[in-house]
A and B are shown apart, each in its own frame.
Chain A
């Protein structure tokens, strides 16, 4: 959704001036991609919409802090992730309980070749599997796989140790593999 006649800079200036018209433009341009991020960090669609709403309010109120050093999309992405993580920190106590309930899963699966059949057609199912992950696993998985953070950064962001981050990523991947394999088997 690109509005011809306006650059990102002009839209940002309009937003900073408090003009609703430009805020609408910014929202329409980035809402979809940011909503996809929100969905990955949430348990369900309603929670993702709440997260998107909270993130956009933060975006509009802190847009003055954007110095234009990087792409606007990346800056917006970071705000959404930070908003999701700050929610995660508030809910950390309950997450710990969830993590304890996760059973140990075998490290290796002989049917790894099945994963090569994954395609964009499976995106809804994969998203659902990610949403069903325990919150702590999900955050580490998203930060590592999609945002490209290393374990040291993840440990700092989430207030956990590096080894915990590695363990959670490992378990998250095992859980996902197990579910994806269940999904793929009938297709074989």
Chain B
């Protein structure tokens, strides 16, 4: 009985031993999807390039959160300050109570007599606000000079006094109208922000342009003075390139047939002829194959763009800047995969790759427009198109040509 059982087990085992069915394609797709998600969630501090999306996401979230918190804090402080502020009527009444202090009087072309003295009541009133009054930066001797001093944007510290300036102005409409600042009078201001850009790369090649999309993520700092801004960023971008591989291999294939003559016999119908009794045999030999395969190499760059921009236009909460930049790109990591070779490549596999050496430093020039939208008084959303031209090819290959790219950027920045 026991031996019969063992035979049964062995028979079952033998029957299924060589079974190797093919799973459907959806299995591998599912594995790739799940692995991609796991890789995205995994954070490895030793591998900068694999964590770039996490770093970018956390940075963006951090900057946004900080900006929102700062905005909320500043707004609450300003509200508290406004509560302490004396009613504006007092100021305007004082001004209006003074002879020759009416708006009309100040806007006349005649020189104002003792203008500084006449503004003393305003300054005295302002002292009640527990804040030092900024010294007027311009001599108030003529009407048009007074207008200049009013268009000068007070620093945020004295923003609560901003509403008092119109009392000295010839026309309050002019003050509230968004205006480009006089650069020599404007204070320096620092902006910090984060941005992402989607780009369409174009590399001219003899066989046609090689095009692909790539992303750039970065943090930036701008120094703003009036309508000009000067910036530097630290960004990360991944570029791609085609990698050609010349693959030679041999397979053991049929190359023809031979007929083996086993014996012969006279042909009874024709005495001059013989009948050959043969067998056909297929001849196998190694066959050389040669093919060209391409893989896509990825190249990670740490980039430092230096930019200068000029504010072209302001309307409501929108501003439009024209930007120019020069970007230094340092190669920090590259991945050059070899082609996947499967069972058809039987033997004598020889793979030759004449891969051009990538340049470790690239420089490109760029231009673009930036539309800036103020969400709160300090937080801005930015978006706009950009164009980039590389000053040299990406590799040392003599056939390589200079690439170019256009893209769309989006991000936020915060004014300090």
- A interface with B by C-beta (< 8 Å): 1-5, 18-21, 23-25, 27-28, 31-33, 35-36, 39-40, 48-49, 52-53, 56-57, 60-61, 108, 112, 115-116, 118-120, 122-123, 126-127, 145-146, 173, 176-177
Contacts and interface: CB of A to CB of B under 8 A. Distances in A.
Interface string B15-33: 1101111111011101110
Interface in B1-40: 1, 4-5, 7-9, 11-16, 18-24, 26-28, 30-32, 34-35, 38-39
Contacts of A20: 32
Given A5-B341, A39-B21, A61-B38, A56 B14 contact: no
A53 B31 CA distance: 6
Contacts of A31: 22-23, 27-28
Contact of B16 (A4, A49, A127): A127
Nearest to A27: B28
Interface centre among A40, A112, A123, A173 (most CB of B within 10 A): A123
16 contacts: A3-B343, A5-B349, A21-B338, A27-B28, A28-B342, A31-B27, A35-B22, A36-B19, A36-B20, A53-B34, A57-B31, A61-B38, A115-B8, A123-B15, A145-B9, A145-B12
Contact of A116 (B11, B20, B21, B342): B11
Q: Sort chain B's interface into a size bin.
A: 35 or more
Nearest to B31: A56
A27 B25 CA distance: 11
Contacts of A49: 23-24, 26-27
A123 B230 CA distance: 75
B57 to A, nearest CB: 19
Given A5-B351, A57-B35, A123 B19 contact: yes
Contact of B8 (A3, A35, A119, A173): A173
B8 to A, nearest CB: 5
A3 B24 CA distance: 21
B337 interface: yes
Given A49-B23, A57-B38, 9 more contacts: A2-B343, A4-B347, A19-B335, A31-B28, A53-B30, A115-B8, A115-B11, A120-B15, A127-B19
A60 B30 CA distance: 13
A122 B1 CA distance: 24
Contact of A18 (B15, B39, B343): B39
A46 B249 CA distance: 38
B18 A120 contact: yes
A4 B15 CA distance: 30
A118 B347 contact: no
Interface in B257-292: none
Given A32-B20, A123-B16, A123-B19, A19 B35 contact: no
A100 B156 CA distance: 81
Interface centre among A21, A25, A53, A127 (most CB of B within 10 A): A53
B76 interface: no
Contacts of B138: none
B6 to A, nearest CB: 11
A90 to B, nearest CB: 18
Nearest to B29: A53
B341 A4 contact: yes
Contacts of B1: 108
Contacts of A115: 7-8, 11
The 6 closest A-B CB pairs, nearest first, are A32-B20, A35-B23, A118-B11, A53-B30, A4-B349, A56-B31
A111 B52 CA distance: 68
B200 to A, nearest CB: 24
B15 A173 contact: no
A3 B12 contact: no
Nearest to B22: A32
B76 to A, nearest CB: 47
Interface in B219-249: 249
B12 A118 contact: yes
Contacts of B158: none
Nearest to A33: B20
B340 A112 contact: no
B145 interface: no
B340 A25 contact: yes
A18 B42 CA distance: 12
Contacts of B39: 18
A145 B5 contact: no
Contacts of A35: 20-23, 27
Contacts of B30: 53
Contacts of A120: 14-15, 18-19
B21 A36 contact: yes
A44 B264 CA distance: 61
Nearest to B20: A32
B108 interface: no
B396 to A, nearest CB: 25
